[in-house]
Every structure is written in C-alpha cells, then in structure tokens.
Amino acid sequence: AVARWKPLRHAYEKEIVLYAHFQGLDYFSTECSYAPHAYRGHLRSLLKDLEATRATTVAALGHSSRSLAIKAQVATKKLGAC
C-alpha cells in the first residue's frame, strides 16, 4: 500500500489514474457492496452534477473548506445533563 500524501488532495482522481496508467503502475478501483445504499452516494452524485456544470466546483469547495473556522466558544462548550 502507498501512504497518502497531502499535496495529492489537490489532484483530481482522473489525473491520478492517468498518471498511474502512463507510468505502468497497477491501479484498481473497487466499490464497497454497501455503497449504492449509502447516503454519501447522494452527495457524490450531487458533486458530479455540480462539476458537470462547472469543472472547478470540487476544487473550489476543497479550498473554501480550509478557510472555515470554529469559534473557540463552540469548540470548548461543555455539554449539560439531559
């Protein structure tokens, strides 16, 4: 197994697959048998639809998520008893 490298998070999966193909590297993709029923499938199809409309949507979401900050009062708030 190859360890993940953070700078690759900016690369599209298509680019990684093409790189592996042209370098002669073994690449396989298998889907979990439970994946069709998972909620993340709905999100994945939404992202694909957005990306079909505008190719940079997924990259823009990734970049904007890093600018989100959690306020200290929310992060340190103690939960009370029910």
In the chain, what are the domain boundaries? Answer: 34-66
* Distance (Å, whole) CA 75 – CA 79: 11
What is the identity of the amino acid at 51? Answer: E
Tens of pLDDT along 7-53? 667 777 778 888 888 999 887 777 777 777 778 778 888 888 988 88
Vertex 54: Cα angle to 49 and 29 (nearest 5): 55
pLDDT higher than 80, residue 76? no
- Higher pLDDT, residue 65 or 44: 44
